[in-house]
Amino acid sequence: MRTRQLGPLTVSELGYGTMSFTAIYGASPERQEAIRVIRGAHDLGITLFDTAEAYGPWTNEELVGEALAPLRHQVVIATKFGWNIDPRTGERRPGLNSRPDHVKRVVDAMLKRLGTDHIDLLYQHRVDPDVPIEDVAGTVRDLIDAGKVRHFGLSEAAASTIRRAHAVQPVAAVQSEYSLWTRDPEPDVQPLCEELGIGFVPWSPLGAGFLTGKLTTSTSFEQGDFRARSPRFTSEAMNANRKIVGVVEQLAAAKRATAAQIALAWLLARRPFIVPIFGTRRLDRVRENLGAADISLSPAAITELESNLARIKVVGDRLPPAVLELSYR
């Protein structure tokens, strides 16, 4: 697989988000199956793996650490801090917590769960309004100086916040939701990333599965699946948004590709510093998604795709209100 730059990091041009191995999409698969899929993704060429302390909490980092232990020096592991999780019990408390003392304790625990002596890319999961971003960047700088962290990242941050953080400790990558139906980072965040030499990592590049064309209004989400309470996944919203999938499928048919491959190929064509992270529990889906790297979209094809999509109004917010309000601060 070809590589791209996330700031100073060289990674595969498509990365793997491992959140789907928690219960956020319903019941999790057996641990050994999850390990098989994660290692299989590396065998297929992926070198960037993304997790977070909040996934579980904690259990996802433990899984990723075990799966990647034999491959540690061949991969880039990214994880995230910032939620208010009790460091003793793992209990999720209300709100955020990026206080310097808390972050330092969290990172020590992350290193144990991941079974490693350093974190390649450490993101602040959400911007904490109660802690100046300069203090957060300074804390990560201290962790880098201590050898516990290699690079600093931000997730769902506003352009002004990114610039302030970057002035204290260079930001290697910014992660935000970005796809054919979620294009919020385009006006401000992506131009800033280009200006400052920061990599951009789209999460949910397949619209939580919707852009694959495999979900319909008759799809029944398992208990615990976050889409069951997401505004874009009500029956009414899915029915209206099916027009988006229709446009993607039309181009996919012309390219003898799948809708998922077209959605990922579009992201790769947008900017050379974009590295999408898709999530799936199935190795055959990993293989399918990686096929996007072999699809060439001409400027004319991209213009037509975007023009057709611009005529369609996306129905429903991308996240539930309580989560959405934490973005772009």
Q: 175, 222, 181: which is closest to 198 by C-alpha?
A: 175
Residue 146: how many other CB atoms lie within 10 Å:
11
Q: 239: which 2 tokens?
A: 């029915």
Give CA–CA dist 269/179, Å, rounded: 12
N-term to C-term CA, the chain: 35
Domain boundaries, the chain: 3-207+258-295
Q: At what angle do helices 259-270 and 299-310 cross, to 10 degrees?
A: 110
Phi then psi for residue 277, to 5 deg, are: -115, 110
Give CA–CA dist 153/174, Å, rounded: 6
Over residues 93-106, the pLDDT tens digits come to 999 999 999 999 99
Give CA–CA dist 187/185, Å, rounded: 6
pTM equals 0.97
Given 16, 55, 123, 178, which residue is catalytic? 55
Q: 174, 166, 182, 75: which is closest to 119 by C-alpha?
A: 75
Which residues partner with 10 through β-bridges?
5
Please give the average per-residue pLDDT across 1-21, as a whole number: 97
Asked if residues 205 and 178 have their Cβ atoms less than 8 Å apart, the reply is yes
Asked if residues 125 and 118 have their Cβ atoms less than 8 Å apart, the reply is no
**288 residue type, one letter:** E
Q: Give the lowest-confidence range in 77-86, 197-206, 224-233, 236-245.
A: 224-233
CATH topology of domain 3-207+258-295: TIM Barrel (3.20.20)
Q: At what angle do helices 259-270 and 283-290 cross, to 10 degrees?
A: 50
Summary mean pLDDT of the chain: 97
Q: Give the lowest-confidence range in 22-36, 69-83, 105-119, 172-186.
A: 22-36
Please, which residues have CB within 8 angstroms of residue 53's CB and are 6 or more apart in sequence? Answer: 61, 79, 80, 81, 83, 85, 106, 109, 110, 113
**140 residue type, one letter:** V
Give CA–CA dist 139/54, Å, rounded: 20
Phi then psi for residue 314, to 5 deg, are: -70, 130
Please give the average per-residue pLDDT across 126-134, as a whole number: 98
Over residues 185-226, the pLDDT tens digits come to 999 999 999 999 999 999 999 999 999 999 988 898 988 888
Q: Assess whether 123 carries a catalytic annotation.
A: no
What percent of the chain clears pLDDT 70, i.e. is strictly above it? 100
Over residues 27-50, the pLDDT tens digits come to 788 999 999 999 999 999 999 999
**Residue 272: what pLDDT?**
98
